[in-house]
A and B are shown apart, each in its own frame.
Chain A
Amino acid sequence: AQSVSQHNHHVILSEAASLELGCNYSYGGTVNLFWYVQYPGQHLQLLLKYFSGDPLVKGIKGFEAEFIKSKFSFNLRKPSVQWSDTAEYFCAALSGSARQLTFGSGTQLTVLP
């Protein structure tokens, strides 16, 4: 079965620091990958997604992620975080003909002003 791993459970950064959140998936075939974000008190919303083509995907609010097939990874990056980026970040994967997203356990990001 498909699994998604997010090894950083809680990350604390100061404003202007660079961010990289890890995400690894287990499926070896065609896979679609997503990053969702949940700001405090708000709905989960899509940050970015990868289906095919350029492995470097750009999303909203300056976030980007790189799909590295050989490493089964889809890490989320931002060069300079802001206090408003404090949120929980979820990586998710959809494999082959599956209809179901598999979510990672999430990473809580706290940005200190």
Chain B
Amino acid sequence: NAGVTQTPKFRILKIGQSMTLQCTQDMNHNYMYWYRQDPGMGLKLIYYSVGAGITDKGEVPNGYNVSRSTTEDFPLRLELAAPSQTSVYFCASSYGAGVYEQYFGPGTRLTVT
């Protein structure tokens, strides 16, 4: 049981490039989340999903897209990368909303130059 896995661990992008951050969970959780963590700012929710085929915006969705074609996978797409997207990205999953614990992946450190 690997939990939540993310790839890649590190990536450097040039301004205007695009990439997909991968996230997979093997706990059969319905809910999945993408957060970004900036220094001194805590975690901000980018997008979340309550099940396959259903996604919704979080607090900071601009510049990102997501899809949820399966229960296990929740990729995050960056189109036209900008320096403001330099951050550490965390994927998480939970069985349900609210009181259920969120399980986090190891994170992806992205630098846009």
Contact with A along B33-60 (1 / 0, CB 8 A): 0010000111111001010000000110
CB-CB under 8 A from A99, the residues of chain B are: 31, 48, 50, 97-98
Among listed B20-28, B62-70, B76-84, B99-107, interface-contacting one? B99-107
CB-CB under 8 A from A104, the residues of chain B are: 42
B74 in the interface, Cβ–Cβ < 8 Å? Answer: no
In contact, A101 and B42 (Cβ under 8 angstroms): no
Q: A90-B43, A99-B98, A100-B59 are in contact. Are A44 and B48 (CB under 8 A)?
A: no
Complex CA–CA separation, A108 to B40 (angstroms): 10
Closest Cβ of chain B to A1, distance in Å, is 9
CB-CB under 8 A from B105, the residues of chain A are: 43
In contact, B58 and A100 (Cβ under 8 angstroms): yes
Interface size on A, as a range, is: 20 to 34
Interface size of B by CB at 8 A reads 26
B90 in the interface, Cβ–Cβ < 8 Å? Answer: yes
Give how many A-B residue pairs fall within 8 Å (CB-CB). Answer: 49
User: What are 20 contact pairs spanning A and B, CB under 8 A?
Assistant: A43-B3, A43-B104, A43-B106, A43-B107, A46-B102, A51-B99, A90-B42, A90-B43, A98-B98, A99-B31, A99-B97, A100-B45, A101-B45, A101-B102, A103-B35, A103-B44, A104-B42, A105-B41, A106-B40, A106-B42
Q: Taking beta carbons and an 8 Å cutoff, which residues of B are in contact with A?
A: 3-4, 31, 35, 40-45, 48, 50, 58-59, 90, 92, 97-99, 101-107
Since A43-B105, A103-B44, A104-B42 are in contact, a sample of 14 more A-B pairs with Cβ atoms closer than 8 Å, ordered by chain A residue number, is A6-B42, A9-B40, A32-B99, A43-B103, A44-B90, A46-B102, A49-B99, A51-B99, A99-B48, A99-B98, A100-B48, A100-B59, A105-B40, A106-B40
Q: Taking beta carbons and an 8 Å cutoff, which residues of A are in contact with B?
A: 4, 6, 9, 32, 36, 42-46, 49, 51, 90, 94, 98-101, 103-106
